[in-house]
Amino acid sequence: MVSVVSSPPFRLRRPLRGPVRAVAETAWVLLAGLGVWVAVGYLGVLPRPYLQLLALAVGAGLFPLRRRFPATVLLVLAALTGLASCVGPVTAATAYTVARRTVRARTRARLLAGAAALLVVCATVAAPWLGPGPLPYGLALGLVLTPTAVLVPGLVGTSYGQQRRLVRALRERGDAAERARRLADSEARIHERSRIAAEMHDLLGHRLSLISLHAGGLELALEHADPELREEAVLVRRTTRDALGELRQALGVLGPLGRDTGPEALTDATGTRADIEALVARSRDGGIAVRLDWTGPDLDGRPAGVRRAVHRVVRESLTNVHRYAGAAHVAVTVTHGEETARVTVRNGAPPASAVPAAGLGTGRGLTGLRERVELLGGTFAAAPLPSGGFLVEAALPAEPGETPTLRREEAPGTGDGASAGPDPAERGTAQALTLALGLVALSVLTALGTLFVHATAPHRDAGPRPLPRVGMTYGDVIGSGVTDNAAVRAAATGREPPRPPGTAGCVYPFNGATESRPGSLTVARYCFDAAERLIAIDRFTVPSVRDATPWETP
């Protein structure tokens, strides 16, 4: 039957191609680099931010050339990443593309190793000017950026490229196998049609021979009785002979069909109950346990095409049992009703120790059966059973129509045998989303690694605060952590040595008061003049009062 496949109500847009795709990819990696630049600069650990922004602009300009000059662009971007960590997302996308498109493993490994080494060297050398400062911290920054900008994207690109090439090769092999299967099925259908044509030759040849024979007898009978009618009989005999010759010539182009001659030749009794019982009996003689269940009247009154189809279904099914499951039990069921004739052949699972017979055949017999049944307007099904056996079932119309049902040949890639597979647009969208999320994750790791290295590197204002010294202002002394303490001032009142001349005020910090020995307290005194300049730092000892410990009772 001719099947009509309706077109989908809408079509998905194709993925971006050409310049539009290049602009979109460049804008995406530039946005990721800007995200790293803003994140690092927001925390104030980005030296020379405008110079790093210039490096990001240069990297974004080189990014569209990564497919034409993969090695050069990757190495230059790796060097720029060592100078400015915000170029890391651009380098990561480039490393992914280069690794995915490079087929030779050695070339790919050399490119990734060279880019990683160049990034580390540039980050180490540029550390005092554009990095965290000391060379060891520049080396640490390079080692942190190398996995996120080169190694991890390169490994992901390598895996995806190999997977893509493998899937392409498997798809090509699958397409070739599918084409071979369709050609074999087409050959089986053509052979079955040739077999049907040969059967038609046997049937029509027998009928035409009878017509020619009777026309010859009529010609002899009318030779003297009615010469005019004799000429008509001669015309009928000659026309029948010519028709039989033309039929043989037309069927001769179908090739040799000697396989259905001899003891297997089809007759008027083919497909009747006696014929099916004979097939079952021969299978029993061959060692197969076969049971026949016949429901309804005999098929001797049905058209020859239906009877021969029943014969072919039973014979081919039993032949397959001989080949594949010779030790299994078989049930042959024929149900003949007023409108349909149904044939079912079911075999059980063969024992585990059973070995299939040698020369298993081409496996196209079921295809021929399907062709024969569907040409008569019936339905055919053949499938393995969950129990391990096999089921063949055919339902034939008891009186097929005058015009056979022709089935359109399935084109390659259509029909039940073709797998739909994922839509290319959907597959491209999923891939783009995955790569975008991966780029975002690498950008976050790049920013965190840069912040970590810059946070651990020493800065100019790092280290302990300077100690107070004579000549410092009151504000500098207070800023160094020296503050007046009322308790220490009270302990020193009346017991301190005379203040230096010109003293306008003194500060008694708590951190300068220490107990040197029991009953004495060492006090530090910072004296300032009227201009709030530190003029003296004195240390002296005053008596201290010792309270009872908490566990002592008075």
Q: Are residues 172 and 203 in the same domain?
A: no
141 domain residue, yes or no = yes
2 domain residue, yes or no = no
528 pLDDT above the threshold of 60: yes
Q: Are residues 124 and 90 in the same domain?
A: yes
CB neighbour list of residue 285: distance below 8 Å, 6 or more residues apart = none
Q: Are residues 91 and 202 in the same domain?
A: no
Q: Are residues 435 and 304 in the same domain?
A: no
Q: How far apart are CA 231 and CA 243, in angstroms?
A: 18
- Choose the weakest-confidence range: 9-13, 309-313, 452-456: 9-13
Q: Are residues 214 and 298 in the same domain?
A: no
Q: How far apart are CA 353 and CA 327, in angstroms?
A: 10
Contact 272, 211 (CB under 8 A): no
202 domain residue, yes or no = yes
Domains contained in the chain, number: 4
Mean pLDDT of the chain: 79
- Choose the weakest-confidence range: 90-94, 133-137, 412-416, 503-507: 412-416
Local confidence band at 325 (pLDDT 50, 70, 90 cut-offs): confident
Please report where in the chains the tokens 């040849």 appear, as a residue.
205
Give buried/exposed letters for 457-473 (b at 16+ CB in 10 A, else e).
beeeeeeeeeebeeebe
Contact 98, 66 (CB under 8 A): yes
Residue 289's SS3 state is strand
62 pLDDT above the threshold of 90: yes
171 domain residue, yes or no = yes
| 405-436 tens-digit pLDDT | 555 444 444 444 444 455 666 766 777 788 88
Q: Are residues 280 and 393 in the same domain?
A: yes
228 domain residue, yes or no = yes
Q: Are residues 26 and 172 in the same domain?
A: yes
Considering 206, 221, 253, which residue would you say is the last residue of a domain?
253
Whole-number pLDDT of residue 118 = 94
Contact 140, 100 (CB under 8 A): no
For the segment 125-132, the average pLDDT, to the nearest whole number, is 84
435 domain residue, yes or no = yes
Please report where in the chains the tokens 């039957």 appear, as a residue.
1
Indicate the DSSP class of residue 68. Answer: T
Q: Are residues 33 and 140 in the same domain?
A: yes
Q: Are residues 368 and 497 in the same domain?
A: no
Please report where in the chains the tokens 């049905």 appear, as a residue.
302
Q: Are residues 241 and 387 in the same domain?
A: no
Q: Are residues 48 and 167 in the same domain?
A: yes
How far is C-alpha 536 from the geometric centre of its chain's CA atoms?
80
Which structural domain range is residue 78 located in?
A: 18-179+430-456
Q: How far apart are CA 51 and CA 54, in angstroms?
A: 5
Contact 393, 366 (CB under 8 A): no
Predicted TM-score of the model (pTM): 0.51
CB neighbour list of residue 288: distance below 8 Å, 6 or more residues apart = 318, 321, 322, 326, 328, 330
Contact 286, 258 (CB under 8 A): no
Local confidence band at 206 (pLDDT 50, 70, 90 cut-offs): low
124 pLDDT above the threshold of 70: yes
| 358-379 tens-digit pLDDT | 445 555 678 878 888 888 889 9
Q: Are residues 202 and 239 in the same domain?
A: yes
513 domain residue, yes or no = yes
For residue 326, the domain's CATH number is 3.30.565.10
Give bridge partners of residue 522 from the DSSP assignment. Answer: 514, 541
418 domain residue, yes or no = no
Phi-psi region of 395 (alpha: psi -120 to 50; beta: other; left: phi over 0): beta
Question: What is the bridge-based pairing of β-strands 514-517 and 520-528?
Answer: antiparallel
